[in-house]
Amino acid sequence: GLEVGGSPNHRVPAVSHMLWLRVGAIDDPQGKSGIAHYHEHMMYDGTPRYPSGEYANIINAAGGQQNAFTGHDATAYYIDIAKDRLPLAMSLEANRLGPLAPTDADAAKEKEVIIEERRQRIENNPTALFSEQMAASLYRNHAYQRPVIGWMHEMQGLTKEDVLKFHRTWYHPNNAILILSGDITAAEARPLVERYYGELPRVPVSARQWGDEPPQNAARNLTMRHANIQQPVWSRVYMAPSLAYGDKEQALPLLLLSQLLGGGKTSKLYRLLVVDKKIASAVDVSYDLFTLGPSEFEITLTPEADI
């Protein structure tokens, strides 16, 4: 059930092995926000075959690089490695789709890591704190209202068993997509994928339950004050369709509009507000058309200090 895609590029004898799982922060169970991100960290804390830390040690010793990230919609793990070491990378990654075997000490250590990550990235960052509040206000029912990293009070209650249950629920080959890019062809990739991933069992995976959005009938206004804010910032966010949600035909026009309005120093809003009227020092317009759920069209500007 594993889906496989590729993008050949033969300029360098190396391959990027990227395994995407159809699970992300929007799949965190109610009351356990942050579990998808916590699980991503604990994927490096051992299996019955490889003790904690061995995965990274083996990749590093082979001259490769590896990392991972958790988003709202998906979680991805990548290994960049020399072509002749690709079988090693596949063996290690396929092994992690089987059972995990973290110790209690591993689980406690990683929980402290993610809590400290939240302190550094969110708690000490007024912009990030405000973005969380805006998302929580914008989305009335969809799981996008929860931060990817999780709410602090819920992160503190996560357990090793929560992680293992999450793994058993979502981490199966039929819920994954493998992307191979670099010095490899489909004919070379097929026997490797069949050898290392082919024996992993297909396991039924439940449909993802995110909650849909009710009609947006009222505007919300938020104001936040923080001792660390040196310069005021103004933002306006609109819920918008994406290529996968809502009026999909509007996604590409919205992407074009975001660039026309705020895609650099030649954009309409930059020239109007920064160059001509000189009432702002910075303007940005952002829009992501690749979300699985509703997207956001956001205008942000920094007013001049004396305005």
pLDDT tens, 235-273?
999 999 999 999 999 999 999 999 999 999 999 999 999
User: Is residue 259 a contact partner of residue 267, using CB atoms and an 8 Å limit?
Assistant: yes
Query: In the annotation, is 154 catalytic?
Result: no
Catalytic entry in 3, 40, 161, 249: 40
The pLDDT confidence band at residue 307, using thresholds 50, 70 and 90, is low
Q: What is the pLDDT of residue 306?
A: 66
Name the token pair of 266.
């030649």
* Over residues 211-227, mean pLDDT: 93
pLDDT tens, 103-161?
999 999 999 999 999 999 999 999 999 999 999 999 999 999 999 999 999 999 999 99
The pLDDT confidence band at residue 219, using thresholds 50, 70 and 90, is very high
pLDDT tens, 270-306?
999 999 999 999 999 999 999 999 999 999 999 997 6
Alpha-carbon span 238 to 216, nearest angstrom: 10
Q: What is the pLDDT of residue 33?
A: 98
- Would the pLDDT of 229 be above 90? no
**Computed from CA positions of residues 109, 91, 36, 133, in that sequence, does the dihedral angle turn out positive or negative?**
positive
User: Is residue 14 a contact partner of residue 7, using CB atoms and an 8 Å limit?
Assistant: no
Q: What is the pLDDT of residue 305?
A: 77
Alpha-carbon span 125 to 235, nearest angstrom: 16
- Tell me how far the alpha carbon of residue 251 is from its chain's centroid: 20
